[in-house]
Amino acid sequence: MQSPWYNQLLAITVVVTIAVALWPPKKKAFRRRGIDPGYWNLKVWPARIWFLIKGHDIVEQAYLQEKDAPYLLQSLNEDALVLPPRYLPELRMLPSSKLSASLALVTSVLGQHSGVDIILKDRQHYDIARVQVTKSLPTLLPILSRKVDSILSEELSGCSTSDFTPVKVKNIVSALVLRTTLLTFFGPELCDNTELQWVMEEFTNIVRDMAIFMLFIPKFLRPSMQPFLPPTARMKRLHAQARTILFPTAWNLSKKAGGGDTVINHFLTTSEAVDEKEIVAKLFVLMAGALHTTKMSTGHALIDLCASPECVPGLKTEALREHPMHEDSPWQVEEVNRLKLLDSFLKESQRFNPPNYLSFDRIATATFAFQDGTVIPEGTFISMPAGPMAMDPENYHDPQKFEASRFCGTDGSAAAAATEKLQRTHEFVGTESGNIHWGHGRFTCPGRWYASAIMKVIIAQIIRRYDVKFPKGQEERLPNVYLDLIVEPNPKQVVLFRVRE
Ligand code: HEM
């Protein structure tokens, strides 16, 4: 007769063997790039750090070596499945019941711990950016145009027609984008409120700090630890501060604006019951998304003006044709829409400096299979290699060459002659094969018409009013800063400004 110890040992061995067999590394079918976090994620930290330092190179190399093969990549938080572009047509047809962009956004910043998950409640933030903000552009843009002018005059008050004045790109772009965005969100009374400016920028810092804390805490402990972490208290105070600034005045402001084309007013008027806490939470997330991306893209564009001085005369001629120098009236939306060369320049700048090297982030909310049989299990975080796609000769002729007129022909006439559909893909907001910098499909950035319009006004006004160039001895852009996959303009970059005669 066998001893009870023998039976127990046998039972334990069987259970462990089954557990190991049923618990292989996640999504084993796909090749892995970067460092494998290994069984039970034992090597997850080396994998995360490697991604932080080398994420950009890993994605680039993977595309060059095997662009049609999906691969797994341990990013800072989630384990992402990077899919090749050939799956895009199928992915864009999938219903929102199978793919979620908002959930991917929340997951990527561990936003369930910092309140970013408010965007999962409904689509109010998305609809306001897409519908109300875009519809308000004809009335909003002239107001923003005047604001751009006054910010430029303030920030460049030391500039003259005789000498060039050095200005940090980061500072001027930050002032322009932050204050115009606050004007759009809260109206003229609040856009220059420095406390509100600080509050709105601080939100992103706290979300980042919370995510960093959480990475060090095992998943199952996170919800119980969250209330005791320093970012939680900071976030609570920040929300309270925002409500104090915004809510005594919000209704009055909206009434004063005569129906109110501010984002806060759109939230108030489209909410069934006004819940200040919820509105502030949604405003924070929308503002954070709008600010960071628009600042980066505008910074890149300003630097590209200096890096490609040969494209400035054409852009200047176009801007002066649509808005002659003697006119001190603000830009109108129809005039901005006619800036086709500027559209093309901004698209080319974005092609070279995408906001993120991976785009089209989604979470599979149900298991599905592609036509080739590849199965994407529920819960998979998927992405696409936006950066390398934009530099693929299959998508763009001579992709390494910066061609300001690539999307419209040298004088803009090609775009004018093209069909309406073609014209639309040639706009900055348009997407063509190889371009997923605004995302793709049914969740494409809903704020892109607004972002494009304000960026065009900023760059067109700089071109009309100033000569810009790099400091003496600098011919090329300082290298971009890659923090994992985010492509930031170099924070040290300085541009010289001189008032045009
Ligand atoms: C140059 C500036 C901008 C860039 C490059 C950009 C890019 C993007 C990208 C890539 C996405 C993800 C789309 C997808 O995965 O299909 C996105 C989503 C979004 N963007 Fe933008 N964006 C910009 C400006 C703005 C602005 C100014 C607003 C608001 C007025 C805005 C509001 C949103 C919203 C609400 C989402 C959806 C978030 C969600 O999934 O819930 N964006 N944007």
User: What is the tens place of the pLDDT at every residue in 466-480?
Assistant: 999 999 999 999 999
User: Which domain range does residue 215 map to?
Assistant: 31-499
Better-predicted residue by pLDDT, 414 or 296: 296
- Binned at pLDDT 50, 70 and 90, residue 8 comes out as confident
Backbone angles phi, psi at 369, to 5 degrees: -130, 145
Rounded to 10°, the helix 194-215/276-307 angle is 90
| Centre of ligand 1 from the C-alpha of residue 353, in Å | 16
Question: What is the distance in A from the centroid of ligand 1 to the CA of 290?
Answer: 7
pLDDT tier at 325 (50, 70, 90 boundaries)? confident
For residue 14, how far is its CA from the centre of ligand 1 (angstroms)?
50
Q: 3-class SS at 495?
A: strand
Residue nearest to atom 32 of ligand 1 (CA): 447
Q: Under a CB-based contact definition with an 8 Å cutoff, are residues 319 and 463 in contact? A: yes
Six token digits for residue 469: 């160039």
pLDDT above 70 covers a percentage of the chain that reads 91
Nearest to 129 by CA among 48, 82, 184: 184
18: which strand partners?
none
SS3 2: coil
Domain contains 17: no
Q: Which residue ranges make up the annotated binding site?
A: 445
pLDDT in tens, 281-313: 999 999 999 999 999 999 999 999 999 999 999
Residue 499 confidence (pLDDT) above 80: yes
State residue 3's pLDDT score: 64
Tokens of 453: 């319009």
For 191-243, the DSSP string reads: TT-HHHHHHHHHHHHHHHHHHHHHHTS-GGGHHHHGGGSHHHHHHHHHHHHHH
pLDDT at 442: 83
- What distance in Å separates the CA atoms of residue 107 and residue 121, rounded to the nearest whole number? 15
Residue 155 falls inside a structural domain: yes
- More confident: 414 or 177: 177
Query: Do the bridges between strand 375-376 and strand 486-488 make them parallel or antiparallel, or are there none, so unpaired?
Result: unpaired
Q: Which residue from 128, 119, 447, 129 is spatially nearest to 282, judged by alpha carbons?
A: 119
pLDDT tens across 255-276, in order?
444 447 899 999 999 998 889 9
Position 102 confidence tier, pLDDT thresholds 50, 70, 90: very high
Q: How far is the CA of 402 from the centre of ligand 1 (A)?
A: 25
Quick one: tokens of 77? 């938080």
Q: Rounded distance, CA 171 to CA 494, Å?
A: 10
Percentage of the chain modeled with pLDDT above 90: 79
What ligand 1 atom has the least distance to the C-alpha of 105?
40
Q: Is residue 2 part of a domain?
A: no
* CA angle (266, 208, 125) in 5-degree steps: 15
Alpha carbons 274 and 150: distance in angstroms, whole number: 34
Q: Has residue 405 been placed in a domain?
A: yes
Q: Is the pLDDT of residue 413 over 60?
A: no
What is the structure's pLDDT at 50? 93
Residue 24 scores a pLDDT above 50: no
pLDDT, position 2: 57
Q: Is residue 26 part of a domain?
A: no
CATH number of the domain to which 402 belongs: 1.10.630.10
What is d(CA 453, CA 338) in angstroms, rounded to the nearest whole number?
11
Q: Is residue 23 part of a domain?
A: no
Q: Is 158 domain-assigned?
A: yes
Residue 7 lies in a domain: no
Q: Ligand 1: residues whose CB is within 6 Å?
A: 101-102, 105, 119, 125-126, 129, 133, 286, 289-290, 293-294, 297, 355, 359-361, 437-440, 443-447, 450-451
Which tokens hold the place of 44? 């997850």
Ligand 1 midpoint to CA 285 (Å): 11
Residue carrying the six token digits 């050095």 = 166
- Which of 267, 293, 428, 488 most suits a substitution to test ligand 1, by most atoms within 8 Å of the C-beta? 293
Question: What's the gap in Å between 101 CA and the centre of ligand 1?
Answer: 11
Across the chain, what does the average pLDDT equal? Answer: 90
For residue 162, the 8-state DSSP code is: S
The pick from 264, 437, 448 for probing ligand 1's pocket by mutation, whose C-beta has the most ligand atoms within 8 angstroms, reads 448
Q: Which atom of ligand 1 is nearest to the CA of 455?
A: 1
How large is the ipTM? 0.99
Domain count within the chain: 1
Q: How many CB atoms lie within 10 A of CB 179?
A: 20
Average pLDDT for 441-466: 95
pLDDT in tens, 34-83: 999 998 888 999 999 999 999 999 999 999 999 999 999 999 988 999 99
Measured from the Cα of 438, ligand 1's closest atom is 10
**Under 8 Å between Cβ of 362 and 382:** yes
Atom of ligand 1 nearest to the CA of 119: 41
Per-residue pLDDT band for 134 (boundaries 50, 70, 90) equals very high
Question: Is the CA virtual torsion 109, 113, 117, 118 positive or negative?
Answer: negative
Q: Determine the pLDDT at residue 257.
A: 45
